[in-house]
Structure 1
């Protein structure tokens, strides 16, 4: 599995965890998962840029 695919899977897992935390009312956890998701999405963009040779 490529790094990009692993990061996309991680983003998906974080999104599911984020929704679960929202449903059960854990605002601090929602915030932390949101920040982690932002970081992972930035890493995905960086990997995609590297794959395109535009980084």
Structure 2
């Protein structure tokens, strides 16, 4: 599995977790998961472009 594919899978997992946190009424958890999701999506886009922004 490529790095881009792994990042897309992680983004999907984070999205599901954020939705569950929203339903459970956990605003701080939702915020943190949302910020992580943004970072993972950006890293995934960079991986798709063949660039490496140094994000881990």
TM-score in same-fold range (> 0.5):
yes
Q: Which has the higher helix share?
A: 1
Task: For structure 2, list consecutive stretches of 5 or more residues without a partner in the other structure.
Answer: 52-56
CA offsets per residue over residues 23-51 of structure 1, 9 Å max, x none?
A: 00000000000000000000011001117
TM-score of the pair, normalised by structure 1: 0.89
**What is the RMSD of the two structures over their aligned residues, measured on CA atoms?**
1.0
Task: For structure 1, list consecutive stretches of 5 or more residues without a partner in the other structure.
Answer: none
Structural mapping, 1:31-46, within 5 Å:
31-46=31-46
Residues paired across the two proteins, number: 51
TM-score of the pair, normalised by structure 2: 0.88
